[in-house]
Amino acid sequence: MMAPGMKPASFARSILLGLLITTPAVHVMAQSASDKAAAEALFDQGRAAMQEGDFARACGLLERSQHIDHGVGTLLYLAECYEKSGRTASAWATFREGADAAASANEQARARLARDRAGRLEPQLSRLLIQVPAETQQIAGLTIERSGKPVPPAFWNVPVPVDPSEYQVTVSAPGYEPWAQTITVPERAAKVAVAVPTLKKAPESDRSSVSPVEPIRPTTPVASGAVPPPAPTPFGSEHGKGQRTAGYVIGAAGIVAVGIGSYFGLRAFSKNGEAKDQCPRGYVCDFPDGPSLADEANNAARASNIAFAVGGVALIGGAVLLLTSPRSPSGTSTQVGVAPTGFILKGSFQ
């Protein structure tokens, strides 16, 4: 029941503030318990600052709380703070957002109060119209900012609700002279228009154009003490260097394998001779060590064959890499082909 002597507007405001104070703020999407605790602390500090009349500080605290942990109660308190500080457009938009959030959370009482507050503020909104001529809109890369914040093309030539304040409208585009104007939007349903002129093209000397950089090739002697520019690296030299290194490594591995094959070949020859001395009649041996010597000779021969095969393949592969590696035009000449008698690989170094 409304107390005697209380005005209806004051009574409605008391109901809203009572709901805000007695009902805990609904917080959703909290990232963690510590984030929610921080948001609650900021919310309490912002509410206390509002009660003290420090609305500038209160709005900042509530904005931070809402950023950390979204809540219907925080939104409505923030809208109230904006209205108290004279930011009518921000208050109107935040009340509408709070109404939608409350309706989604099935808090119909809060949703109705927020819509009513937004409806009362709407006739008081001041609006700013930025008029952009059609020829200017066609300029590639055109950007319009309002006090450092971009204005989307959808807001050009449309009266947009703004908070009463001073604004600087700046217009810029590549290859054109920038334009700026500072205007003041008063409160209480003021309407201010800013006409953007046709942009002028910037002088040729001021236009930023990047031309391809040509390599420096000095045609005159370098002055004493100056450092000449490095000579351009021939195409394919780095790639050819890596390929040649691989060829040397593989070739060296082939030489090692051939050496191992030679060692086992000599060992097989030696063991085979000892086996023949032990077993002069073939499979009939006069000494017990004869069969084991024969086995050692066979194993050594097998290892020798494998090592020779690996070494041969590695030597051929290394030679192919060396002879086919990219070089300067005067470096090498290489011919690779297939003939009826086999594979042909010719190369010469200069």
Residue 228 lies in a domain: no
Q: Are residues 265 and 343 in the same domain?
A: yes
Domain that holds residue 150: 126-202
Share of the chain above pLDDT 90, in %: 47
Residue 214 lies in a domain: no
Q: Are residues 118 and 140 in the same domain?
A: no
Which of the listed residues 123, 155, 181 is the one where a domain comes to its end? 123
Q: Is residue 228 predicted with pLDDT exceeding 60? A: no
Q: Are residues 345 and 329 in the same domain?
A: yes
Which pLDDT does position 90 carry in this prediction? 97
The token pair that represents 215 in the structure block? 């390599």
Q: Are residues 90 and 169 in the same domain?
A: no
Q: Are residues 103 and 84 in the same domain?
A: yes
CATH number, position 43: 1.25.40.10
Which pLDDT does position 293 carry in this prediction? 60
Which pLDDT does position 303 carry in this prediction? 77
Q: How many CB atoms are located within 10 Å of the residue 238 CB?
A: 11
CATH number, position 160: 2.60.40
- The lowest-confidence range among 25-34, 117-126, 173-182 is 25-34
Q: Are residues 336 and 275 in the same domain?
A: yes
Residue 262 lies in a domain: yes
Please, what sign has the CA dihedral across residues 132, 138, 139, 143? positive
Residue 5 lies in a domain: no
Phi/psi of residue 330, nearest 5 degrees: -95, 10
Show Cβ contacts of residue 42 under 8 Å, excluding neighbours closer than 6 positions.
61, 62, 64, 65, 68
pTM of the predicted structure, to 2 decimals: 0.50
Bridge partners of 336?
A: 345
Nearest to 270 by CA among 306, 305, 301, 311: 301
Q: Are residues 260 and 336 in the same domain?
A: yes
Q: Are residues 197 and 291 in the same domain?
A: no
- The whole-angstrom distance between residue 263's C-alpha and the CA centroid of its chain comes to 59
- The whole-angstrom distance between residue 329's C-alpha and the CA centroid of its chain comes to 42
Band of pLDDT at residue 38, cut at 50, 70 and 90: very high
Which of the listed residues 94, 123, 152 is the one where a domain comes to its end? 123
Q: How many CB atoms are located within 10 Å of the residue 9 CB?
A: 9
Residue 319 lies in a domain: yes
Which pLDDT does position 327 carry in this prediction? 60
Q: Are residues 92 and 143 in the same domain?
A: no
Q: Are residues 274 and 180 in the same domain?
A: no
- The lowest-confidence range among 13-27, 129-143, 327-341 is 13-27
Q: Distance between CA atoms of 131 and 181, rounded to whole angstroms?
A: 13
Q: What is the number of domains present in the chain?
A: 3
Which of the listed residues 66, 96, 123 is the one where a domain comes to its end? 123
Residue 226 lies in a domain: no
In the predicted model, what is the mean pLDDT of residues 181-202? 94
Q: Distance between CA atoms of 347 and 343, rounded to whole angstroms?
A: 14
Q: Distance between CA atoms of 178 and 104, rounded to whole angstroms?
A: 45
Q: Are residues 118 and 131 in the same domain?
A: no
Q: Are residues 287 and 341 in the same domain?
A: yes
